[in-house]
Amino acid sequence: MIQPWEQEGSFLLSMDGVDQSHVDLLDPTRLVFDYVRTIGRVLDGLVPEGRPLRTLHVGGGLMTLARYVHATRPGSSQVVLEPDAVLVELMREQTPLPRRSGIKVRTKDGRTGLAELGDGGFDVVVLDAFAGGETPLDLTTVEALAEMRRVLAPGGALVMNLIGRTPFPRVRSTLAAAREAFPRLAVIAAQATLKGRGKGNFIVLATEAPLPLRALERATSSAAEPSRLLVDPALKDTLGGGMAARD
């Protein structure tokens, strides 16, 4: 499940024959997967560089993004909701978190863990959870996204990694649900995916604050594949029309 990969200190998590997560223990800022690098750059653009970031991660894997935040923003307090207790134990044995990292791992599913959190305690929520190759449906409903909004401080942001293939029904429905909780949305996706050339990642930023457009443009232009940044009205034209799912 977790195996050494490529170079010293580097590990890869594979589940059901699919590469799920990568971490470099010697350099947590090295993000190998393209979509993870994009999320990292989006996080970098949300608040001034170096400032601690109170972060909730829904889905953990090898805690790649939590380690990245710890390395780039010392003093950050973070909570990770990861329901796979076996994976968490393996992670702690084979790829342990740094001492005094400020990362608290709770072996709970996203909805249960969210319900136990107080209001307004986080600057950012990162949703990067998968079951059967897709984000669990119960994490993309109107009620689930309202819960993520509830635990965010004023001006906070939700960053989601969604998987989609044309005509992108789950992506469209999730964006429709997000619009009920957040007034501003942006999406970064590979141009090939948007043109229907296979399944791909959609990085979604949802917030009530002004969108950090320059940071989003930098994240888009630095992606490994030619990518496109979508904000309204182009976002509605390209990925609108979805019906929001409810519990």
Q: What is the pLDDT along the chain (247 residues), one digit of tens a residue?
A: 787 777 888 898 887 667 778 999 999 999 999 999 999 999 999 988 789 999 999 999 899 999 999 999 999 999 999 999 999 999 999 999 998 999 999 999 999 999 999 999 999 999 999 877 788 999 999 999 999 999 999 999 999 999 999 999 999 999 999 999 999 999 999 999 999 988 999 999 999 999 999 999 999 999 999 999 999 999 999 999 999 999 9
Contacts of 16 (CB under 8 A, 6+ apart): none
Tell me the domain boundaries of the chain: 31-239
pTM to 2 decimal places: 0.94
Strand partners, 205: 159, 186
CATH of domain 31-239: 3.40.50.150
Smallest CA-to-CA distance from 193 within 61, 37, 35 is with 35
d(CA 247, CA 230): 28
| Pair 120, 152: CB distance under 8 Å | yes
DSSP state of 131: B
Block residue for tokens 């635990």 = 151
Would you state the torsion angle of the CA atoms of residues 47, 116, 109, 171, taken in this order, to the nearest 10 degrees?
-50
How far is it, in rounded angstroms, from Cα 195 to Cα 182?
A: 27
